[in-house]
Structure 1
Amino acid sequence: MQLTFDDDVERFRAEFSAFLDANLPSESQTLERPQSVSHMPQWARDWQRLLFDNGWLLPAQPPEFGGRNATVLQQFVHLDELCRRRIFHSFNPQGVNIVATSLIAFGTAEQKQRWAVPVLRGEMTASLGMSEPNAGSDLASLSTRAVRDGDHFVVNGQKVWTSGAHHADFLLTFVRTDPDAPKHKGISALIIPTKTQGLVCRPFADVASRDNLDFNEVFFDDVRVPAENLVGELNQGWRVANGSLGHERTMMWLLFADRLDNLIADCRPRTSVERDQYASMIMDYHALRALGSAALARAARGEVDTSSVSVLKLLGSEAERRAADVLLDTAGIEGLVHPVTGRYQHMNNDEYFASSFERYTRGIAATIAGGTSEIQRNIIAQQVLGLPRG
């Protein structure tokens, strides 16, 4: 068993670390905060463009897409360094990590240049139109329709929980194009600019919202979308959706471990029960790191290991939820206060203004976003353990 990285990986980390030391914006430059995950102040756009130009935005991609053809282990230390410093490489994470990478994987050459590259360069922002009122974790049940009309699709329906839609330039939207096909077979993916006539975004608050709103309902009323905006093949959107979620879940366990580490650092147990819970938080953290590292090693060897994705998602999100619960309990009434402490880097928008209560609600959300814990348990039972459907 090797518990360290080879010299080439450590050199990669050192080069990235030196770049961050030399180029991170100062706190005074970052006073204007993003208002949603698709809103980026000019400093955030400049920061992302700098990363793109130097190959540090998406290191796995080739240079023309903001990367440097990095290996799996080099990608890991890149993300690990960002987590260690508690900074973001992009303040439009869905646009960069999911939408743009999906367009690179499935889009035409024209779509890559017209839509993906501007997102990567910080010139545009994008959101992901997946969930619907009756199709959350079961995405294949979506009912938003797109009907071909000459050289356009006409879209009608509704999306919900669409983060940052009211600030995004376009949505990568999943629609039903063949209502008679099995539900996984009749879905397509469309690029839909948010300024298109008939598209309405209505932001709404969540329980922890204060000044800024992120979630949206998005309504489509006879929205005409050029047929050239179809991503991938007609009725093959399920492949694009799986690719999109795959991009989101790649090394997700490290992000869970990072947030768990933050919660542990801020927890102040007082009673014996709280100290016991605190010890469990630490054990969860080390278990997550160990299992994640094993999955990373398999990925570095080129092994296909789809089962670990669901296992690590379930373990990480449930551990974060429990830890956030303990943090709120130990904080008491002070958990409702919104501290701005020196522990949190100004380049991190998640924790910069977060009270213990906000982080508690995010802990709950972690077990829902990207596939609920219930869905993950079903996948593990049926696809990993081979159990029959109940």
Structure 2
Amino acid sequence: MQLSFDADVEEFRAEFVAFLEEHLPDAAETTERASSSADVPEWARRWQRLLFDNGWLLPANPPEFGGRNAGVLQQYVHLEELSKRRIYHSFNPQGLGIIAASLLTFGTDEQKQRWAVPILRAEITAALGMSEPGAGSDLAGLRTRAVRDGDHFVVNGQKVWTSGAHDADVLLTFVRTDPDAPKHKGISVLLIPTDTPGVTRRPFASICGPHDLDFNEVFFENARVPAENLLGPLNGGWTVANGSLGHERTLLWLSFADRLQELTEDFRPESVFDKDSYATLAMDLQALRLLGSQALSRAARGEQDTQSLSILKVLGSEAVQSAAEQALYSQGADGLVHPAFTASYLPMNLDNFSCSWFERYARSFAGTIAGGTSEIQRTIIAERVLGLPRG
């Protein structure tokens, strides 16, 4: 087994490291923080544009879309170097990782230039309108309707949990365009500018309190959307959805490894974890990295490996959740207090941790839901890895 990268990958890494060392924003200019996942401070917009212009934003993309046609292993070391420095390449992650990626996969040339390039260059931001009050993460159960009227679609319905919608310029919105078709075959995708008459966005607080406004309810009341804003084929939204979510799954395990790594580095074991819990955390991290490296090797060979990605998703998300839970219980009442006021909570950089341990634990549940719930992943593992019959 080769546990190192070939020379071309290391050359790629060295070039990127040199770029970071020369261009990384000074800490003094990064004090302005984003208030939502579609609110990008001006310094962060400049940083994202710099990455785009130099081909370092999404290296797998062609140069005209902020990349350099990089392979899977090169993409990995790119993310690894960003992670080492705790650097975001975008403060609009769903815009970059799902919406722009979907536009590049399914969009027309005009749509790519009109929407994808401005999102990639941080000139506009985007949010994902998928979940609904009566359907949750069940996309096939959505009821937001879009009816064709001449050269427009008229949209009525509601979305919820739409992260960053109140700050976004455009919503990638899944709508039902054929109510008589089977549920997963009557769905289409529209790009809906948020200033469209009839679109109302209402942010609401999360468990982290009234200062943490990212989630939104979004209402559509006879909102007229140009038909040219249809992404992909009419009634082909199911395919777009699978492609959209697929963009965030390939290296998703690396984000969980990063969070576990932060825990091992930032906190004194004797102050946050007992020895057994800390050992479990370290072993989970090592297992995740080893399994992830195997999956990475298969991806580099062009092999489809949905099963491994499901295993990594379950292991990573639940390991992060378990570590947060152990830390919370070990803190007792201090776990309910903001870290700035907790003497036993000693991260090296408080800016990275704006919530109490209870809030961090509550947030960890998002990892077991986003990108495919743990229940869905276990079904995939049961059927495709263990060969069990469909239930």
With the length of structure 1 as denominator, give the TM-score of the two structures: 0.94
Equivalent in the alignment of 1:69: 69
Over aligned residues, Cα RMSD in angstroms?
1.9
C-alpha change, 1:370 and 1:272, in structure 2 (3 Å) is closer
Letter of the structure 1 residue corresponding to residue 265 of structure 2: A
* Alignment partners' CA distance in 2, 1:48 and 1:286: 31
1:142-165 Cα deviation digits (max 9, x unpaired): 111111111111111111110000
Alignment partner of 1:202 is 2:202? yes
CA shift for structure 1 position 137:
2.6
Secondary structure, aligned partner of 1:184 = helix
Contact 1:86 1:345 in 2 (8 A): no
1:220-252 Cα deviation digits (max 9, x unpaired): 111111000000000111111111101111200
Letter of the structure 1 residue corresponding to residue 376 of structure 2: I
The 5 A counterparts of 1:247-262 are 247-262=247-262
C-alpha change, 1:175 and 1:385, in structure 2 (3 Å) is farther
Contact 1:87 1:345 in 2 (8 A): no
Contact 1:73 1:300 in 2 (8 A): yes
Equivalent in the alignment of 2:368: 367
C-alpha change, 1:368 and 1:261, in structure 2 (3 Å) is same
CA shift for structure 1 position 344:
3.6
Equivalent in the alignment of 1:329: 329
* Alignment partners' CA distance in 1, 2:364 and 2:278: 16
> Which stretch has the larger CA shift, 2-11 or 307-316?
307-316
The 5 A counterparts of 1:1-40 are 1-40=1-40
Equivalent in the alignment of 1:387: 388
1:170-213 Cα deviation digits (max 9, x unpaired): 00011111111111111111000001111111101111135230
C-alpha change, 1:244 and 1:218, in structure 2 (3 Å) is same
CA shift for structure 1 position 342:
7.2
Structure 2: runs of 5 or more not aligned: none
CA shift for structure 1 position 307:
1.5
* Alignment partners' CA distance in 2, 1:123 and 1:296: 32
Alignment partner of 1:339 is 2:340? yes
1:43-68 Cα deviation digits (max 9, x unpaired): 01001000000000010000100000
* Alignment partners' CA distance in 1, 2:28 and 2:250: 33
Equivalent in the alignment of 1:99: 99
* Alignment partners' CA distance in 1, 2:254 and 2:350: 18
Equivalent in the alignment of 1:376: 377
C-alpha change, 1:345 and 1:238, in structure 2 (3 Å) is farther
CA shift for structure 1 position 17:
1.1
Equivalent in the alignment of 1:280: 280
With the length of structure 2 as denominator, give the TM-score of the two structures: 0.94
Equivalent in the alignment of 1:224: 224
The 5 A counterparts of 1:235-314 are 235-270=235-270, 274-314=274-314
Which structure is higher in RCO with an 8 Å CA cutoff and minimum separation 6?
A: 1
Secondary structure, aligned partner of 1:214 = strand
C-alpha change, 1:371 and 1:78, in structure 2 (3 Å) is same
Secondary structure, aligned partner of 1:224 = strand
Letter of the structure 2 residue corresponding to residue 321 of structure 1: Q
* Alignment partners' CA distance in 2, 1:278 and 1:134: 40
> Which stretch has the larger CA shift, 247-256 or 372-381?
372-381
CA shift for structure 1 position 357:
2.6
* Alignment partners' CA distance in 2, 1:189 and 1:264: 42
CA shift for structure 1 position 134:
2.1
CA shift for structure 1 position 271:
9.8
Equivalent in the alignment of 2:111: 111
Equivalent in the alignment of 1:87: 87
Equivalent in the alignment of 1:189: 189
C-alpha change, 1:382 and 1:321, in structure 2 (3 Å) is same
* Alignment partners' CA distance in 2, 1:354 and 1:333: 14
Secondary structure, aligned partner of 2:223 = strand
1:252-283 Cα deviation digits (max 9, x unpaired): 00000001111233444459993212211111
Secondary structure, aligned partner of 1:326 = helix
1:287-330 Cα deviation digits (max 9, x unpaired): 11111110000000011112122211111111110011112223
Report how many residues are paired. 386
Contact 1:268 1:330 in 2 (8 A): no
CA shift for structure 1 position 332:
3.4
C-alpha change, 1:272 and 1:42, in structure 2 (3 Å) is closer
* Alignment partners' CA distance in 1, 2:377 and 2:349: 31
Of all paired residues, the percent bearing the same amino acid is 67
